[in-house]
Amino acid sequence: MKHCLHCERPAEFSLCCIVSTLGIPGRIQECTASLPFCSSCLQRVCGDGEGSLALPIREALQTALRALTEQRLNKMEPETPLEEKGNGLEVGQTLVRR
């Protein structure tokens, strides 16, 4: 049995969020990791977005968004040498995408 991320009681719910691109051909989607919650903690997160309780959700969404952004950028254009871009973000001679 899984336990709640916050209080270690038995988890009653598993929260996953899907982040998806819109308005571009070939939709790209990423799903967050599953986050187990008991009913009480999930209600607290939904009710007031309490900082410490909402932190794992924000972190999971940031991870999914980062992966989605990387996929989108890779789909749109291959890596380009900096001298062609001229934007000053250097790691060796490769453009850094964030």
Write the DSSP assignment of 17-65 as a string of letters.
-EEE--SSSS--EEEPPPEEE-HHHHHHHHHH--HHHHHHHHHHHHHHH
Paired with 91 in beta bridges are 94
Q: Would 69 be classed as within a structural domain?
A: yes
Q: Would 75 be classed as within a structural domain?
A: yes
The pLDDT of residue 49:
60
Residue 64 has pLDDT above 80, yes or no: yes
Residue 92 has pLDDT above 60, yes or no: no
CA neighbor of 19 nearest in space, from 45, 57, 75, 74: 57
List Cβ neighbours of 85 (8 Å cut-off, separation of 6 or more). Answer: 95
Give the predicted TM-score (pTM) of the model.
0.58
Q: Would 20 be classed as within a structural domain?
A: yes
Q: Which domain holds residue 24?
A: 13-95
* Separation CA 8–CA 5 (nearest Å): 6
* Separation CA 64–CA 10 (nearest Å): 26
In the chain, the number of structural domains is 1
